[in-house]
Amino acid sequence: MTTHERKIAAAIDEAKLDKLAEVVVKVGLNLQEGQDVFLTAPVTALAFVRRIVEHAYKAGAGLVTPMLADEQMTLARFRFAHDASFDRAPGWLYEGIGKAFAANTARLAIVGDNPMLLAGEDPAKVARANKANSIAYKPALEKIAGFDINWNIAAFPGAAWAHQVFPQDEPDVAVAKLSDAIFAASRVDKADPIAAWAAHNAALRSRTQWLNGQRFAALHYTGPGTNLTIGLADGHEWEGGASVAKNGVVCNPNIPTEEVFTTPHAHRVEGTVVSTKPLSYQGTLIDRIAVRFEAGRIVEATAAHGQDVLRKVLETDDGARRLGEVALVPHSSPISASGLLFFNTLFDENAASHIALGQCYAKCFIDGDKLTPEQIAAQGGNTSLIHIDWMIGSDKIDIDGIKPDGSRVPVFRKGEWA
């Protein structure tokens, strides 16, 4: 390790990093005795991965299999690979991952690489590579979208990522600031993080219980540039915080999380909406998105920045122009209150109410674990190779719940729970 690398490593509070590793295993995954784990992470997060593996085995893991990605190797492909490379993906690998999930292997993903890594690369190649990867990964992704197993996504403060969030600071200062923000959002700055997560999950559960009791047919959003009605899927169910996977394990898929979410009806979305925060997607910052829906489908789409990338995303497949998720997050959430743009959806989606283009979650239906894909589609669930969240909430947005008889109930006023 170089002196520079030591200085950056020293900027991360090791005690809190260890607490986060423990929370990931015990709260995020709720790893079961004898259960295997498949783990992916950037190579820059190796120190964090080692701590996670240690806590996983202490918790009784059967076998932990890590796979690390390297930014320089990723760039090498885009700079030197033959053109045909960008229409390929390691299907053999994803087939194996799908078999692992079918055998009840838990899934853990650590994010923390440079969100703008591919900013200087050919957008067409990036889009082709993403599409090929999505097609190959679909059998494994269906196990995640269907919530067949316990899974979790958490974050490590990589130096390149920290530089994007705090560009004016020295590398070690930027890493220290980002790590503090991650630790606070992940609740490991508390004396007892596991107890703090239990209390937070209970608060989110109270929100989902209220929403499920209301049985809204739709949500109506109003605000600057926004007049949007999102019909909710037939038999939808609100989820948030800890949830029960089909394998019976209660887990927290996202750390951090501030959202409650459900499935919109893929054919019952009407009106206009504008984004309230930029979307960082595959090296492009897509800002000031404005779209118009008709019968659930985006028929007009613009962006002040990144419009070409947005339109390529919408061309992925028919489901890419329809919604797969609607989520409610108060403007006063801790991540919003931080005032930071993280350039990472795991955090930025928890700063504002949002919608997601693409694949829906089977979990967000009453008895969703018993429904076939055909039944989910019949009830309004969307299917796509993508699932991309973008933020539409702010302190200027009001949301009403619309009941089947047309009556209205205030849900949000000026970005806060009503």
Question: How far is the C-alpha of 321 from the C-alpha of 317, rounded, in Å?
Answer: 8
181/318 same-domain check: no
- On whether the pTM is more than 0.85, the answer is yes
60 Cβ neighbours under 8 A, 6+ residues apart: 31, 32, 33, 34, 35
Same structural domain, 159 and 36: yes
Q: Mean pLDDT for the chain?
A: 95
Rounded Cα distance, 257 and 208, in Å:
14
Residue 195 Ramachandran class (φ > 0 left, ψ -120 to 50 alpha, else beta): alpha
Mean pLDDT of 320-325: 97
My answer on whether 276 and 165 are in the same domain is no
Residue 298 lies in a domain: yes
| pLDDT over 70 (residue 417) | yes
Q: What is the mean pLDDT of residues 345-365?
A: 94
Shared-domain flag, residues 271 and 340: yes
- For residue 178, being part of any structural domain is answered with yes
Average pLDDT for residues 334-340, to the nearest whole number?
93
Residue 196 belongs to a domain: no
List, for residues 154-193, the tens digit of each pLDDT value.
999 999 999 999 999 999 999 999 999 999 999 999 999 9
Q: In angstroms, rounded to a whole number, what is the distance separating the alpha carbons of residues 252 and 260?
A: 12
220 band by pLDDT with thresholds 50, 70 and 90: very high
Residue 308 structural domain: 216-239+259-417
Both 175 and 268 in one domain: the answer is no
Instruction: Kindly state whether residues 289 and 157 are assigned to the same domain.
Output: no
Query: Are residues 405 and 312 both part of a single domain?
Result: yes
CB atoms closer than 10 angstroms to residue 361: 24
Asked whether the predicted pLDDT for residue 379 surpasses 90, the reply is yes
Whether residue 210 is contained in a domain is answered as: no
Give me the pLDDT at residue 4, please: 66
Please report which confidence band the pLDDT of residue 369 belongs to, taking 50, 70 and 90 as the band edges: confident
Domain-located, residue 244 = no
Count: domains in the chain: 2
What was the pLDDT predicted at 227? 98
Residue 72 has pLDDT above 80, yes or no: yes
Q: With a cut of 80, say whether residue 342 has pLDDT above it.
A: yes
* Domain match, 232 and 91 both: no
Phi (first) and psi of residue 105, to 5 degrees:
-75, 130
Confidence grade of residue 8 (pLDDT, cut at 50, 70, 90) = confident
Instruction: Locate 302 and state its tokens.
Output: 């613009």
- Copy the structure tokens of residue 40: 């992916």
Query: So what's the pLDDT on residue 1?
Result: 65
Q: What is the pLDDT of residues 186-205, one digit of tens each?
A: 999 999 999 999 999 999 99
Q: If you average pLDDT over each of 46-50, 365-369, 385-389, which comes out highest?
A: 46-50
Residue 129 Cα distances to 66, 114, 388, angstroms: 23, 18, 16
The mean pLDDT of 31-47, rounded to a whole number, is 97
**Quick one: 171 and 235 in the same domain?**
no
**DSSP structure string for 95-158:** HHHHHHHHTT-EEEEEE-S-TTTTTTS-HHHHHHHHHHHHHHHHHHHHHHHTT-S-EEEEE---
Residues 232 and 178 in one domain: no
321 & 380 share domain: yes
Residue 353 has pLDDT above 80, yes or no: yes
Is 199 a member of any domain? no
Same domain, 288 and 380: yes
**114-141 tens-digit pLDDT:** 999 998 999 889 989 999 999 999 889 8
Asked if the structure places residue 359 within a domain, the reply is yes
pLDDT recorded at residue 284: 86
User: d(Cα 52, Cα 294) in Å, to the nearest integer?
Assistant: 46
Q: What is the pLDDT of residue 7?
A: 79
* Nearest-angstrom CA–CA distance, 155 and 161: 11
Name the band, by pLDDT with cuts 50, 70 and 90, for residue 327. very high
Tell me the DSSP string of 145-187.
HTT-S-EEEEE---HHHHHHHSTTS-HHHHHHHHHHHHHHHTT
Residue type, 122: D
Instruction: Decide if 204 is inside a domain.
Output: no
CATH number of the CATH domain containing 80: 3.40.1830.10
* pLDDT of 299: 98
**H helical segments located in 32-120:** 46-58, 71-80, 91-102
